[in-house]
Structure 1
């Protein structure tokens, strides 16, 4: 069992120990991971780090003490609302990540339905491709989860979701895009359904919020998903994903700022006096806000377009290259920087292919249904796109030759 040492260690010894431990981690700077990180270049990295250090210990709970943090947070929210269809009356909350943003949205949906409609046995209806964070939030909030299979196009089946709704349905969910396949649900149709039934409509754009608008500007067909879609109540978007900020920085945006009150906690039930918070956190790291603000201002629209272009170029190269390898196929459709590839030859064991890739140093994200390999690209993958295709070709040859059959070496990552 570890214990606090009796005597402190010198700073250099501590830093050397950290470097030694980190040497065992996967080297994301080489682009051999397609999960867990987002990186563009060293210039942005330095800006992120310096901005975070400028507020490394300030507590964003104390905005009376640190009004600069409030101004930074307000600007981050304002820039994001402008990007994602927020009107004059829209609002937002800065959170620690997509899980917290989604939790707050479901909390708000429950609380609004309880107050306005007296719903005490609430349920939420969502496609079965929606992130499992919704189930985790529902477990904590006392919500029944009704998952509905998606259609053959890997998008939410609006008619099937309507059939699962009842008078106790407090929220509908759509993804923009979903994580398993990278496809956009028909947000406009789901939002219209939610409006007719008086339900909260949440759009999970944690992955796509800061990427999809720029992919659309490059000429790709990206359906409307933003707050400006009639019937959309809230939208979650992670700045620490394709907003290219360090972790943890996310947003819960609402079309009507008054709806933030439904996820507010307020109490006077102790001796200290009134306490109020719009997040599940108390103490909030000021560095995360400062670094998000810095990343957005450093990149600007030009920088985000560059990121989108690099991602879509990498995807095109990888998809075409993999599809050309005998025995492999790319699952379609796929809308932005997420896609799945799999074996089309029944004699080819995709687990052995994954193990061969792992043996070469590529961290493999396994897809459960269908059995395949999942990629979530970010800008650095443009520099390794051709290299990855070559590695896949070698891995297929190794699998066919009976090499690298240690299936346990490849992870299922989500």
Structure 2
């Protein structure tokens, strides 16, 4: 049943409208949106410059009507194969590794859980209700996956360093544990979980370890070339069986494209679904959705080839330099403290002296889009290249808001 009342419901216009009117109407609609080109958004937009955006836009337009899942477009299948191979080369995939292009991190997560479930069922069919075991910082999409598949999910406390606690997780592994999920990094705190140690635990206890690297997957490999001791989380680590990374984040592609990678193609085989009692014939798919925007695939392919290794490394250097400027600026403001030690570009900071959300409210009145944490109370952001034009203004306004709060 529709939740919209019949009276006043939006209907099709009686006659079509010219583009000039539509453009004006859409410009008016977006007038209240955050101006992300000026670096005032704290999340959700990954902007590497007009040149990269233009490449993505042109590539997207070339394939905007095509379905990348359809077999009649081998060009898009070739692009997907290239995206998977490039991703595997960056993220530790060996000769047996394989992967799939998905519509985003949520689909990657759902498919990974489904693959782990089918593998678990093949090995332990007697277990009535398997469960996922995750740190409290893991993305809620795994709760969604568990609910959709009739599984349980057990969240456990993280350590004082805002990372998964290997000791706590090890105490919670049971016969019913089918999967452990770790983050690289977690969205709330920006800390990469101790994947190497979790891999050892997963192997010892025969549990599937999945790494959610949707944020860091296409940033960390480039950062690791110039920043020492970035924690590893890739497929080459023993025990890691699957890994998800979003191309529309630090791959700087158009929205709607991610990869789900497996250390062993045998595990990917659990992902497939097949039905052969349909009048049209056998239907087989590797994914949940029947369609995938051809434009998103083409844009990701084009941006990756446009930037290349040197372009991504240069952007990574800018991001980490900006992150350090934010961290230093926040620490200089009395009463604020950064939560933990962010490994990449996600930052969270709070206060023991005053209401940090009141500071967030004050920042919003100054035109900043503010992301927040509730436990613990904190303000939050993901640093991207576009913030180079906003970092000083942000820190100045933050200092003024804190001063006002003190008074």
Taking structure 1 as the reference length, the TM-score comes to 0.94
Match of 1:51 in 2: 59
Moved more, 95-104 or 389-398: 389-398
Match of 2:201 in 1: 193
Structure 1 runs (4+) greater than 4 angstroms displaced = none
Contact 1:353–1:398 (CA under 8 A) maintained in structure 2: no
Query: Does the alignment pair 1:385 with 2:401?
Result: no
Alignment equivalent of 1:234, drawn from 218, 239, 242 = 242
Question: C-alpha separation between the residues in 1 aligned to 2:229 and 2:362?
Answer: 35
Gaps of 5+ in 2: 1-8
Query: Does the alignment pair 1:364 with 2:351?
Result: no
Question: C-alpha separation between the residues in 1 aligned to 2:380 and 2:130?
Answer: 34
Match of 1:15 in 2: 23
Question: C-alpha separation between the residues in 2 aligned to 1:10 and 1:279?
Answer: 38
Secondary structure at the counterpart of residue 403 of structure 2 = helix
Match of 2:279 in 1: 271
Match of 1:109 in 2: 116
Match of 1:376 in 2: 382
CA shift at 1:146, angstroms? 0.9
Moved more, 388-397 or 46-55: 388-397
**Post-superposition CA distance 1:271-323 (Å, at most 9, x none):** 11111111111021111111000111111111111121111111111111111
Question: C-alpha separation between the residues in 2 aligned to 1:219 and 1:326?
Answer: 28
Question: C-alpha separation between the residues in 2 aligned to 1:344 and 1:319?
Answer: 17
Moved more, 284-293 or 319-328: 319-328
| Number of equivalenced pairs | 398
For the aligned residues, what is the CA RMSD? 1.2
**Post-superposition CA distance 1:64-92 (Å, at most 9, x none):** x1111111110011000000000111110
Question: C-alpha separation between the residues in 1 aligned to 2:32 and 2:336?
Answer: 32
Match of 1:409 in 2: none
Gaps of 5+ in 1: 402-414
1:6-85 to 2 correspondences below 5 Å: 6-63=14-71, 65-85=72-92
CA shift at 1:326, angstroms? 1.7
Question: C-alpha separation between the residues in 2 aligned to 1:393 and 1:216?
Answer: 32
Question: C-alpha separation between the residues in 1 aligned to 2:12 and 2:404?
Answer: 48
1:241-252 to 2 correspondences below 5 Å: 241-252=249-260
1:87-126 to 2 correspondences below 5 Å: 87-118=94-125, 119-126=127-134
Contact 1:114–1:120 (CA under 8 A) maintained in structure 2: no
CA shift at 1:41, angstroms? 0.6
Moved more, 235-244 or 387-396: 387-396
Match of 1:339 in 2: 347
